[in-house]
Structure 1
Amino acid sequence: MSQARSLPQSKEALLKSYNKKLKDNIQSMLVNFEEIIKLARMDEDSQISKYTQTEEDQYEMQVRAANIVRAGESLMKSVSDLKQFMILNDFPSVNESIIRNAKNCKSLQQDLDNKLTSLRDEMAIDLFELEDEYYSSAFK
Structure 2
Amino acid sequence: MNKGGVGVGGGAGGGSGPTAAAAAAAAQKQKALLQRVDTDIGNLVDNFGFLVNVTRVNDPPVRNSQESFMMEMRAARMVQAADSLLKLVSELKQTAIFSGFASLNDHVDQRTEEFNKLAENTNGTFARIGEEVAASLKELESHYYSSTLRTSVRHEP
Same fold (TM over 0.5): yes
Q: Which residue of 2 aligns with 1:12?
A: 27
Of all paired residues, the percent bearing the same amino acid is 22
Contiguous gaps of at least 5 residues in structure 1: 45-49, 97-140
In structure 2, give the amino acid aligned to 1:34.
G
Distance in 2 of aligned mates of 1:2 and 1:18: 11
Count residues with an aligned counterpart: 92
Distance in 1 of aligned mates of 2:26 and 2:6: 14
Distance in 2 of aligned mates of 1:65 and 1:2: 30
Q: RMSD value over aligned CA atoms?
A: 2.8
In the alignment, does 2:46 pair up with 1:36?
no
Distance in 1 of aligned mates of 2:79 and 2:6: 35
Q: In terms of Rg, which structure is larger?
A: 2
Contiguous gaps of at least 5 residues in structure 2: 12-17, 108-157
Q: Which residue of 1 aligns with 2:37?
A: 22
Pick one of 83, 91, 98 that aligns with 2:93. 83
Q: TM-score when scaled to structure 2?
A: 0.51
Q: TM-score when scaled to structure 1?
A: 0.57
Distance in 2 of aligned mates of 1:66 and 1:40: 16
In structure 1, give the amino acid aligned to 2:79.
V
